[in-house]
Copies of this chain bind each other. A is one copy, B any other.
Amino acid sequence: MDEAAHTPDPTPSSAATDAKAQRILSGAAKVFSDKGYHNASMRDIARETGISLAGMYYYFASKEEMLFSIQQFCFRAVLEGLRERLDQTSGAHDRLRAFFHNHLSFFIANVREMRVLSHEGESLTGEHHREVADLKREYFRALTEILEEMPGLQWNESELRRVGLSIFGMVNWIYTWYDPRRDGTADELADRMCALVTRGIDNLDSV
């Protein structure tokens, strides 16, 4: 008889962990988005996901662990998506367009998470806060590196910061208004927003 077969395995298989953890995080994002993080309880999330409190605590030690995992997952995914696109894209304008396409397609598919990232940016504490702040800085730097390549401009630090954060405002605010029936697909919206910030209203062709 195989000894190993009798050894209890304290950790679930990695595939099962991922699927169940993802289900918990997705439910947590819905609850945080609807009620706000501070107002949400583990009980609300258990009700939303249909997973017991004990089942949830098996994966996440606390509500803050969940908020941290949502933020960490989103920033890592959007950064990885951007890097994959940039690896295949040359030319500053096309690279900026890739940023818009990546950001909008990811967050339009994850709009509850986008609301949570926007509203609960300051709700994390300590090490959690630092780790997410590092990811945000890395993502912001990725955008400003693209901007610095734009031809004909002598960027200075303030102008890079202002333009970069203006672009983040444009693309993040969509969680308050985006409607696929009125505003087109993520890719259509990305093209028009990119045209607006590169050519400006003065040179924006009407479509």
Enumerate chain A interface residues (CB-CB to B < 8 A). 35-36, 38-39, 118-119, 121, 147, 150, 152-156, 158-159, 161-163, 165-166, 168-174, 176-177, 182-184, 189, 192-193, 196-204, 206-207
Contact = CB atoms under 8 A, between A and B. Distances in A.
Contact of A169 (B172, B183, B201): B172
A8 B173 CA distance: 51
3 smallest CB-CB distances across A and B, nearest first, come from A200-B200, A169-B173, A154-B206
Contacts of A119: 119
Chain A interface secondary structure, helix, strand, loop or mixed?
A: helix
Nearest to A204: B153
A202 B201 contact: no
A170 B163 CA distance: 9
B192 A202 contact: no
Contacts of A168: 173
A192 B154 CA distance: 15
Contacts of A177: 165
Nearest to A155: B206
